[in-house]
Amino acid sequence: MNMNDLNMQQLSHWQLRTDAAGIAWATLDRAGESANTLSKAVLEELDRLLTHLDGQPPKALIITSGKSAGFVAGADIGEFTALASPEATKGFVALGWNVFERLAAVPYPTLALVRGHCLGGGLELAMACRYRVAVDEPGTKFALPEVMLGIFPGWGGMKRLPALVGPQVALDMMLTGRNVDAKKAKRLGLADECVAPRVMHNAARGLVLSGKPARRMPFMARLLNGPLKGVVANGARKQVAKKARPEHYPAPYAIIDFWQHHNGNALAAPEVMARITGNDTAKNLVRVFHLQERLKGFGKDGAFKAQRLHVVGAGVMGGDIAAVAALKGITVTLQDQDLSRIAPAIARAKKLFERRLKDKLLVRAAMDRLIPDPSGAGAAHADVVIEAIFENLEAKHALLKSLEARMKPEAVLATNTSSLKIEDLRTVLNRPERLVGIHFFNPVPMMPLVEVVEAGGTDGAAFRNACAFVKQIDKLPLPVKSAPGFLVNAVLAPYMLEAMRCVDEGIAPETVDAAMEAFGMPMGPIELADTVGLDIAMAAGKTLAAGAGGNVEPPRCLAEKVAAGNLGKKSGRGFYDFASGKPAKGGAGTVPAGLAQRLVAPLLAKTQQLVDEGIVADAELADAGVIFGTGFAPFTGGPLHYANQRAAGRSTNHG
């Protein structure tokens, strides 16, 4: 590449150069940011760049990124959420739509060279090009995740994605926010080529000058995207209805309507657009996005990176912690009393690797990183050691004392305890300040939150390194103080207790669960108790009651079921029968007025209490922890945000 085509003073975020073959290379390198996002200024500069090329048309245009962090992460969410009026929001949508329509209409061939994340507006930019080359490396992901923020892909995504990959695949991606990697993008037709990094520039040059026609969908996909749109749309609405109520999550329903009736152009239905962008759900889901980013920030400090992990305890929790770490590239040694106890964890891990990685070579590599270690030799070499044995203070004391004697001095020593206090566990250590809690939730591969627990006097470096490890395995670290139940279990206990008291009063379990599912919970509290295990719910209730200085009698219905050995899903029967693997539920009947508010009230009160006591630093982190640790209805913005909105009279969709 040799010469600047556009006065650089006119461009703060784009660089435009033309190479010897007459190909213009437009590189997006947003000023002052570590990742590319599409702001008003970035879009306006792209529009000026296209105006310049109108006067001097190149042989072709290749759009690429100047950031090591990826292609484009989407629209600038901060700028979008700061828009003060429906007119301003509509103007921002119109700007992106019009610029990308203009890019799609230029007479010369265009190509997006995608390396790293290509999300939201970034994918809409790439799809406005005639061709796309995907670079085959782990960070390359394509997605339209706007629905997760309660909004929609307004810059052409709802029009172009169905035309490229067919409406069924496109709607699945848009309605779930699910991403695809480079190889799958090529298989679907979203990318024209999938190439190694070393050949990406040559591949882009060759394709953009090839004269190859843009990909055309197969005949059946064209029918589904045309005359049979109504059939696809109705099927999509039924699928969405199984997961999301329109009063809670209106965006997916709007996406289907925009595609079906307006060819994906939100500007053609301004009243629908205004309803989506102006409602509480969108504001609250954007709030949740920012809460998630704040949690991610706890793992970014310092240079700590674990190469080796040692886990003691190959039960469901310990085995799955080991598997997730191995999946993320860490060498893991897994210790238990003998190989027969470790074998089920290895078998579970293999299924997880096959499900997530799909490639046989990658699965083999992950299996090679997960090493059975009945003798515990790996503890001496590990950067992080986690004990995940049963909840018994004496047993944990003996283990922790033994581990400390063998570990590297700088290694992180952690416990996965859910009910014992760090202060009680560390009394046997020579360096008690080094022990931290790293508390995972079941099922470990699915649950994003991990509580990182510190007691008074905990070593600051050990705590920061624990947070960094959690972030390294793609979980969300939540700093909490040592206290019974920490945050998540402490707020769930009174909520589940209240639900069982309702059952004691004669309200059917199905009715209790239906009330909270209508509130927006992913699972009702009675089914949740069955899933966790009624014996665990009983033990946790006793521990938390003792820790709080109380003597709370367990609900009669819970005590009777535990005494009878009906422990929930794991025993096949609890409040529900799990013979089929799923709870057999009868009809919910009429839900009494105010039941949901009665059930959620103890959870809200306990969350506020834990903030007041400093167990979690502030209300934002408490909301984040309860959302990502329990699934508390994200569209509410979190329990304390919901309580504040309701107190102010601004929350109207719950009874």
pLDDT tens digits for 46-84? 999 999 999 999 999 999 999 998 999 999 988 988 887
pLDDT tens digits, residue range 440-488?
A: 998 999 999 999 999 999 999 999 999 999 999 999 999 999 998 899 9
Domain interval for residue 460: 308-482
Task: Check whether residue 318 and residue 431 sit in a common domain.
Answer: yes
Is a pLDDT exceeding 60 seen at residue 8? no
Q: How confident is the model at residue 628 (pLDDT cuts 50, 70, 90)?
A: very high
With both helix axes pointing from N to C terminus, report the angle between 251-262 and 229-243 in degrees, rounded to the nearest 10: 180
Rounded to whole angstroms, how far apart are CA atoms 288 and 620?
Answer: 9
Residue 148 falls inside a structural domain? yes
Tell whether the model's pLDDT for residue 170 goes beyond 70: yes
Average pLDDT for residues 279-299, to the nearest whole number? 93
Q: Mean pLDDT lowest for which of 26-30, 157-161, 213-217, 560-564?
A: 213-217
Determine, yes or no, domain membership for 294. Answer: no
**What are the strands of the beta sheet with 141-143, ordered from one edge?**
70-72, 117-119, 141-143, 180-181
**Identified catalytic residue from 13, 117, 248, 439:** 439
pLDDT at 329: 97
- pLDDT band per the 50, 70, 90 thresholds, residue 222: confident
Check residue 5 and give its pLDDT: 52
The pTM (predicted TM-score) of the whole model is 0.89
> What confidence tier does 218 reach under pLDDT thresholds 50, 70, 90?
confident
Model confidence pLDDT, tens digit, residues 117-155: 999 999 999 999 999 999 999 899 999 999 999 999 999
Collect all residues with Cβ–Cβ distance below 8 Å to 234 and sequence separation of at least 6.
Answer: none
Mean per-residue pLDDT, 582-605: 95
Residue 652 binned pLDDT confidence (cut-offs 50, 70, 90):
very low
Q: Do 86 and 43 lie in a common domain? A: yes
Condensed to tens digits (0 to 9), the pLDDT of residues 316-351 reads 999 999 999 999 999 999 999 999 999 999 999 999
Q: Does residue 295 belong to any structural domain of this protein?
A: no
The CA-based angle 489-493-498, given to 5 degrees, is 155
Q: Is the pLDDT at 541 greater than 90, yes or no? A: no
Phi-psi region of 385 (alpha: psi -120 to 50; beta: other; left: phi over 0): beta
Distance CA(164)–CA(214), nearest Å, equals: 9
pLDDT exceeds 60 at position 653? no
Q: How confident is the model at residue 7 (pLDDT cuts 50, 70, 90)?
A: low
Distance CA 106, CA 580 (A): 57
Same domain? For 410 and 502 the reply is: no
Same domain, yes or no: 461 and 497: no
Is 7 a member of any domain? no
Q: Are 414 and 462 within one domain?
A: yes
Say yes or no: 493 and 443 in one domain.
Answer: no
Tally of domains within the chain: 3
Surface-to-core class of residue 548, CB atoms within 10 Å of its CB (0-12 exposed, 13-18 middle, 19+ buried): middle
Residues 317 and 382 in one domain: yes
**CATH code, domain with 61:** 3.90.226.10
Counting every residue written for the chain, the total comes to: 655
Mark whether 358 and 230 lie in a shared domain: no
CA dihedral over 432, 438, 442, 443, signed as positive or negative? negative
What pLDDT shows up at residue 57? Answer: 96
287 located within any domain:
no
CATH classification of the domain holding 565: 1.10.1040.50
Quick one: pLDDT at residue 1?
A: 38
Domain boundary among 482, 504, 538: 482
Long-range contacts of 223-229 (CB under 8 A, 24+ apart): 224/166, 224/167, 224/168, 225/162, 225/163, 225/166, 225/167, 229/167, 229/259, 229/260
Nearest to 113 by CA among 68, 50, 63, 186: 63
Q: What is the pLDDT of residues 183-216, one digit of tens each?
A: 999 999 999 999 999 999 999 999 999 999 988 8
- In this prediction, residues 426-431 reach a mean pLDDT of 97
pLDDT: which is higher, 513 or 549: 513
Tell me if 515 is assigned to some domain.
yes
Q: What percent of the chain has pLDDT over 90?
A: 85
- pLDDT band of 10, cuts 50, 70, 90: confident
Q: Would you say 145 and 119 are in contact if contact means Cβ atoms under 8 Å apart?
A: yes
Alpha helices in 154-277 (DSSP H): 157-165, 167-176, 182-188, 200-208, 219-224, 229-243, 251-262, 270-277
> Per DSSP, which regions of 445-564 are E strands?
449-454, 476-481
Residues 71 and 208 in one domain: yes
**Whether residue 497 is found in the same domain as residue 477:** no
Q: Are residues 473 and 405 in the same domain?
A: yes
CATH number, domain of 458, equals: 3.40.50.720
Residue 273 identity: M
- 222 occurs within a structural domain: yes
Among 420, 448, 482, which residue terminates a domain? 482
Indicate if 439 belongs to the active site: yes
Decide which of 417, 448, 482 is a domain's last residue.
482
Q: Do 360 and 398 belong together in one domain?
A: yes
Whether 297 is covered by a domain: the verdict is no
